Structure 1
Amino acid sequence: MKAYYVYILECNDGMLYTGVTNDITRRVNEHQKGLNNTCFIFKRRPVKLLWHEMFNDIEQAIFFEKKIKKWSKAKKHALVNGDEKMLRILAECRNASHYDFRPK
């Protein structure tokens, strides 16, 4: 069975990068070596692998990667730290349309 990984890297400038691959070790090494000078990571090396999760279906992995890419830095750190309580807090909608903010 094929394995796919969604991962989060921390760049040397504190930026977080989210990606998907079928070989986590190879991909992190490619990021470290800077094989592509047009890549987002190229000028932000060295990088550190903070988190990864394995999927058996590439479509699920891509879906989750796209979802994480939209998250705030704080929410990504909550995922990395396994802080489920903070993850739930940060997942709540905080805009004026949220039910907490509607007039009673």
Structure 2
Amino acid sequence: MHPDAQPAVYIMANRKDGVLYTGVTSDLIGRTWQHRQKASGFSARYRCDKLVWFEIYDDMLSAIAREKQIKAGSRARKIALIEAKNPGWRDLFPELAGG
């Protein structure tokens, strides 16, 4: 893994009552930017371009295990994760990217 890599699990949304996308990456800023640019088919189709939740991990194996756990859970559990850290469903990308 690249020395600057920082494994993360994240959830993108198009709006509070809309589609949620859970993913894992070693470059959260870069991957979120790709979603915002609708560079992936899923992002383009469902307009999931708002970073609403993320967790940072020390290693990719832990991040992948957490992603699988979250994906296996219900929508209600994903919403509870988001609302525990981001009750207003703000887009976290600007502050993450330093903007």
- TM-score normalised to the size of structure 2? 0.72
Contact 2:22 2:67 in 1 (8 A): yes
Give the equivalent residue in structure 2 for 1:78.
Answer: 80
Mapped partners of 1:42, 1:70: distance in 2: 24
Superposed, 1:57-68 pairs within 5 Å as 57-68=59-70
Give the equivalent residue in structure 1 for 2:91.
Answer: none
Q: CA deviation at 1:81?
A: 1.5
Mapped partners of 2:83, 2:67: distance in 1: 17
Q: CA deviation at 1:46?
A: 5.1
Unaligned 5+ segments in structure 1 are: 84-104
CA-to-partner distance for each residue in 1:50-87, whole Å, 9 max, x for gaps?
A: 1000001100100100110111111101111128xxxx
The answer to whether 1:4 aligns with 2:7 is yes
CA RMSD of aligned residues (A): 1.9
Unaligned 5+ segments in structure 2 are: 86-99
Identity of aligned residues (%): 40
2:51 aligns with one of 49, 52, 56: 49
Label 1:78 to 1:46 Cα distance change in 2 as closer, same or farther (>3 A): closer
Contact 1:21 1:27 in 2 (8 A): yes
* Higher relative contact order, structure no. (Cα contacts within 8 Å, ≥ 6 residues apart): 2
Q: Report SS of the residue matched to 1:40.
A: helix
The answer to whether 1:25 aligns with 2:29 is yes
Mapped partners of 1:16, 1:25: distance in 2: 18
Q: How many residues end up aligned between the 2 structures?
A: 81
Single out whichever of 18-27 and 43-52 deviates more from structure 2: 43-52
Amino acid in structure 2 at the alignment position of 1:69: K
Query: Post-superposition, which runs of at least 4 consecutive aligned residues in structure 1 deviate over 6 A?
Result: none
